[in-house]
């Protein structure tokens, strides 16, 4: 006897089909499943997974799912307004509204994004409470931000012990910025006992993620013999890596390397000036001062040197006032 061919039901691939499924779904769990599919379809449109990439279609899917109460979609729809992706204009008020809608359902990323919005509005007490809410539930970014709040005293009283504790929580989860900050706490003994070897380990873990500040701090350890044998050659390699990531401290250090010829590097005033200039463009006070000295010694551009010394003075560089005074005096003699 002939067997009738069976055909698997087609998987819906368009938002309209999913909405029809949602309307026909007899129970809340089934409706929630349809909203999950709609959210995932939005992600596919957002990143071009199995379909054409379209921020507008992604935003549409997330808007519909958000309006029907699906918290992850509410977060994504808020993010669309936060970034302007898939919508006409950036609207931070709408972004915060949708983050709050997701947050009241306990969606951690929505809570975290709400905290970021509040911090940008300079409502630090509320931002810190939101960071704590997400941090205590394991959100790594919120743990790091809460640690920074305790470190800087934003929205809470400064507390080095709490800062170190939350930096450690985020560092244990592999957060690169937290690894650097936790290493700094260990290096300085801020909020916990000093442990130079563990500080170096934390910096190394951050450097393995190419975190520029971690690479720079590890370079300083090698230059000064902090927790590791002193090794200027290794320090220069690390400074160069961090400088390539536009870290101004590392760029300033590379300027000094080329000024002095340390770590097996041949002195080169042109390269020293180049690195000082890169850091000075980021308003690095020490680099502004160093670049001014280079320009003065090279007698290439005294006007720029004066301008840089004035900028360094605004950044409270201690030596800038005396050098500026000497330069202006020699200029008029």
C-alpha span between 48 and 65 (Å, rounded): 19
End-to-end CA distance of the chain: 113
8: pLDDT confidence band, cut at 50, 70 and 90? very low
Tens of pLDDT, residue by residue over 294-305, are 776 655 555 665
Q: What is the mean pLDDT of residues 236-260?
A: 96
Extract the tokens encoding 316. Answer: 């409270």
Residue 192 near residue 183, CB atoms below 8 Å: no
**For 32, which DSSP code?**
H
- The answer to whether 287 and 255 have CB atoms below 8 angstroms apart is yes
pLDDT, tens digit, for every residue of 161-173? 999 999 999 999 9
Q: Measure CA 13 to chain center.
A: 36
d(CA 72, CA 204): 35
Going from the C-alpha of 15 to that of each of 18, 27, 183, the distances in angstroms are 5, 20, 48
Q: Which residue has the tokens 């690169």?
A: 176
Contact 181, 147 (CB under 8 A): yes
- Residues 302 and 290: their CA atoms lie apart, in Å, by 13
pLDDT tier, 26 (very low <50, low <70, confident <90, very high otherwise): low
pLDDT digits 0-9 by tens, 60-118: 999 999 999 999 999 999 999 999 999 999 999 999 999 999 999 999 999 999 999 99
pLDDT value at 249 more than 70: yes
């Amino acid at each position: 006897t002939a067997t009738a061919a069976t055909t698997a039901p087609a998987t819906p691939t368009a938002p309209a089909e999913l909405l029809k499924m949602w309307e026909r779904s007899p129970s809340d769990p089934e409706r929630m499943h349809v909203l999950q599919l709609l959210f995932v379809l939005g992600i596919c449109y957002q990143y071009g997974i199995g379909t054409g990439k379209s921020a507008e279609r992604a935003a549409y899917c997330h808007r519909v799912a958000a309006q029907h109460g699906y918290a992850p979609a509410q977060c994504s729809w808020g993010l669309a307004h936060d970034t302007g992706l898939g919508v006409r204009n950036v609207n931070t008020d709408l972004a915060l509204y949708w983050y709050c809608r997701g947050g009241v359902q306990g969606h951690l990323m929505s809570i975290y994004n709400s905290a970021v919005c509040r911090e940008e509005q300079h409502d630090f007490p509320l931002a810190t409470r939101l960071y704590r809410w997400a941090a205590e539930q394991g959100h790594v970014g919120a743990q790091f931000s809460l640690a920074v709040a305790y470190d800087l005293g934003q929205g809470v009283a400064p507390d080095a012990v709490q800062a170190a504790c939350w930096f450690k929580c985020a560092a244990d989860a592999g957060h690169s910025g937290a690894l650097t900050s936790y290493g700094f706490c260990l290096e300085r003994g801020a909020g916990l006992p000093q442990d130079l070897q563990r500080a170096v380990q934390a910096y190394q873990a951050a450097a393995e993620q190419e975190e520029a500040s971690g690479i720079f701090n590890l370079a300083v350890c090698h230059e000064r013999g902090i927790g590791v044998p002193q090794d200027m050659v290794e320090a220069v390699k690390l400074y160069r890596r961090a400088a390539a990531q536009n870290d101004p401290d590392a760029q300033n250090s590379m300027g000094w390397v080329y000024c002095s010829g340390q770590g097996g590097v041949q002195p080169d005033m042109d390269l020293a000036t180049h690195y000082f200039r890169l850091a000075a463009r980021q308003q690095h006070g020490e680099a502004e001062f160093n670049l001014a000295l280079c320009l003065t010694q090279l007698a290439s551009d005294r006007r720029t040197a004066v301008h840089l010394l004035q900028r360094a003075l605004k950044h409270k560089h201690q030596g800038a006032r005396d050098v500026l005074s000497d330069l202006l005096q020699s200029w008029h003699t």
